[in-house]
Amino acid sequence: MFVVLAPGEAVPADAALQPEPLDLDDLPAPRPAARAPRAVIADALRAALQATVGRKLDRSNRGTRLAVELARADFKLKPAEWLLMTAGVSAMVGLVAAVRFGSLIAFPFGMAGAYAASRVLLKIRQTKRRKRFDDQLAPTLLAVSNGLKAGYALGQALDLAGKNAAEPMASELSRAVREVQLGIPIGEALSRMVVRNQSEDLRLVMTAVQIHAQVGGNLAQILDNIEYTIRERIRIKGEIKTLTSQARASGWILIILPFALAGLMTAVAPTYFNPMLNEGPGRIMLGVAGLMLLGGYAVIRRIVNVKV
């Protein structure tokens, strides 16, 4: 860069070395990365398939039931997304099973196993979420009762309790409050919450609120009584779990011990179980033994599952 000076004008220190200021607005905007045609086509096909399946599910009761089940499991997925994902994973597992065993007969069995595993995963997530919800119900009722005693309306008390609660109680209460703000009666909003969470304790609260809306009364005192009942039920369940711990441990030992003993015998004598695995009568005996193990475990679980 050249600097032209008039006669007699002094040169500032390092003036010629200082670059001109760069205006960021004059820079061209970065171009978005070009996507491969295959990725664009795959996304378009996926969106079209998801829209088609979603429209069919919206017109049937299965889509509604599946949406409720996903909400109970705390999965942030649409019914069409879950159904397509399950179908894709099941097809992949079926192909792997067919390649592994070298027979197309294994394909439907692999798909059925993957679909059953997805249902088991859904049930496990639902059970865990319902347990967390039931554990949070008693403190939430106490907070709602205190809000009513402080002069708040029931909707305001629910909103305040939801802001101070943890998940999943916070999202459930905020959803109920939004439904009430949209004009749905609070009893119906609680009824929908009962359907989503399958909580018998919450059903007591819903019944109490509906009766209070018809005949009146001290709702705060009613909620205090329900909260005390729930706390006592939780305490009794804990005592029953302690008393039946030995029987539940026996059930687990009943399942684990045969497999542990079989592994030990295989390590000591590798050919010991060859007749049981390679011959027809041995396989029949193993199948009968497995059914008897499952039956014994089911009987023990039935005995220790005490309803409170």
> Percentage of the chain with pLDDT > 90?
17
Q: Of the ranges 108-112, 141-145, 152-156, 300-304, which one carries the lowest mean pLDDT score?
A: 300-304
| Mean pLDDT, the chain, integer | 81
Q: In a 10 Å sphere around its CB, with 0-12 CB exposed, 13-18 middle and 19+ buried, how is residue 83 labelled?
A: buried
Chain center to CA of 169 = 14
CB 148 within 8 A of CB 223: yes
What digits encode the pLDDT tens for the residues 197-211? Answer: 888 888 888 888 888
So what's the pLDDT on residue 68?
85
From CA 306, how far away is CA 308, in angstroms rounded?
6
CA distance readout (Å), 110 to 71, 93, 95, 107: 27, 6, 8, 5
So what's the pLDDT on residue 92?
94
What digits encode the pLDDT tens for the residues 186-236? Answer: 888 888 888 888 888 888 888 888 888 888 888 899 999 999 988 888 888
So what's the pLDDT on residue 296?
82
Query: What does DSSP assign to residue 104?
Result: T
Question: E strands along 40-127, which residues?
Answer: none
pLDDT at 56 over 80: no
Prediction pTM value: 0.68
So what's the pLDDT on residue 268?
85
Helix axes 186-197, 106-149, angle to 10 degrees: 140
So what's the pLDDT on residue 204?
86
CA distance readout (Å), 189 to 2, 8, 78, 201: 77, 87, 22, 16
pLDDT at 1 over 50: no
What digits encode the pLDDT tens for the residues 239-287? Answer: 888 888 887 888 888 888 888 888 888 888 888 878 887 888 888 888 8
What digits encode the pLDDT tens for the residues 92-103? Answer: 999 998 898 888
Q: What value, to the nearest 5°, has the Cα angle with vertex 41 and ends 39 and 42?
A: 65
Location of structure tokens 């390679």:
278
Helix axes 219-243, 245-268, angle to 10 degrees: 40
From CA 138, how far away is CA 142, in angstroms rounded?
6
- Better pLDDT: 304 or 57: 304
Question: What amino acid occupies position 287?
Answer: G
Sign of CA dihedral 126, 62, 174, 190: negative
pLDDT band at 35 (very low <50, low <70, confident <90, very high): low
Length of the chain: 308
What digits encode the pLDDT tens for the residues 110-139? Answer: 899 999 999 999 999 998 998 899 889 999
Q: Of the ranges 14-18, 36-40, 159-163, 243-247, which one carries the lowest mean pLDDT score?
A: 14-18
So what's the pLDDT on residue 44?
67
So what's the pLDDT on residue 261?
86
So what's the pLDDT on residue 90?
92
